[in-house]
Structure 1
Amino acid sequence: MTTKYKNFVISIFSDSAYSLDSSDNLYNYDKKYFDESDYIFPSIYGIRVVRDEEEFSAIIGSAGGATAASNKSVIVENDKLFMCCGDSVYCLSLPDLNLNWKTKVDTITCFELFKIDNFFIVHGELEITRLSIEGEIEWQHSGRDIFVTQNGENDFEIKNGIIIAKDWDNNEYKFDFKGNVIN
């Protein structure tokens, strides 16, 4: 995934073969942000920011399930990169890619990140979460099963200030932005 922001070109790519402190890595990074774990991370992403002739790089790795870097899991604004990776959401400053915060948001994995006013809604596998712009969890809701439908369609949307999520058995859940359950 490559995007332009101001005079930066930001590239985000999977680097699943990366191993901390190995000399056999395909790329070297200025900064490394990894969870502490004895397990191999299913989500490892290299990030490169190029501004004029200057280049900045970081790699992030997180526990939990795999997350795909896409326009639904990455938001760039106000000189910050917000990104789902595994079970967490990261906030990195631009262009230097310093870690502002990292918050574990789901028990398994985060699929999508939506910016609403001055907060985020995170569509996770097991939780729907409202996250502050500073990375604080404001509320979370789980369902009877994972928030993915069997056919992978229409499992999550935000319409008219209402969050609508469906689980594996097509049970529908509705929340307002304050976290109230709507019947």
Structure 2
Amino acid sequence: MRNRELVLGTPRGRVRVLDEPTYTFGSADNLRRYESEIHLGASKPHSIHGVSIDEKWSVVFGAGGGPTTVHQHSAVEFDGRLFLAVGNQVVCLDLQTARMEWSLEVDCASCFGVYWDDRHRALISRGELQISRLSLKGETIWATSGRDIFTEGFRCLPMAIEVIDFNHEVYLLDYLTGRVRNGDRPRWP
């Protein structure tokens, strides 16, 4: 089984996020070793992602909820911090110290990704059941659900967040309030 990974170039160095589906917390028999292990929540982790930066430090996170894998929207860097989607959580990690600043359950199922929209200075989590805007301090500013699960598309547009549910219904969410905006809804290409 080939591990999935994401590599981000940041001012602090090269960040590597690696999917670790076979990692066992507390075991000496893992393929890779991490300096720190952080288990988020009380349930058995269904998603495990390792993070390292230029071989300076490493940490592995495990979270419950639905299982997730590492892909291009699993993490985003902003202002010396890494925001990581793992399971049903978003984690904020200081890239200088490798210290976890906060973690937040953003969906009761899975967090499919995390996005930074510079124009609106908005940190957005794309969950299976809800889209949320988060503060940089780890608080939910707003959360919006739809009629069905959000599996068919997501993108940050200049004027709104576009998300498409399982039934192909398009939602345009206001960056400031999270409310579904009225008006024409573009179709996903």
Q: Which residue of 1 aligns with 2:133?
A: 130
Whether the aligned pair in 2 keeps the contact of 1:118 and 1:133 (CA below 8 Å) is no
Could you give the per-residue CA deviations for residues 92-130 of structure 1, whole angstroms, max 9, x where no partner exists?
011331100101001111112221343311111000111
Structure 1 gaps of 5+ residues are 150-154
Whether the aligned pair in 1 keeps the contact of 2:133 and 2:140 (CA below 8 Å) is yes
Q: Which residue of 1 aligns with 2:185?
A: none
Paired with 1:160 and 1:9, the residues of 2 have a C-alpha distance of 29
Structure 2 gaps of 5+ residues are 1-5, 183-189
Could you give the per-residue CA deviations for residues 21-40 of structure 1, whole angstroms, max 9, x where no partner exists?
1121222222111124343x
How many residue pairs match? The answer is 174
Report the TM-score, using the length of structure 1 for normalisation. 0.87
Taking the TM superposition and a 5 Å limit, the aligned residue runs for 1:1-183 are: 1-6=6-11, 8-39=13-44, 41-50=45-54, 55-116=56-117, 117-149=120-152, 155-177=153-175, 178-183=177-182
Whether the aligned pair in 2 keeps the contact of 1:8 and 1:95 (CA below 8 Å) is no
Give the deviation of 1:43 after TM superposition: 1.3
4+ runs deviating over 6 angstroms? none
Please report the RMSD computed on the Cα atoms of aligned residues, expressed in angstroms: 1.7
Paired with 2:10 and 2:170, the residues of 1 have a C-alpha distance of 36
Report the TM-score, using the length of structure 2 for normalisation. 0.84
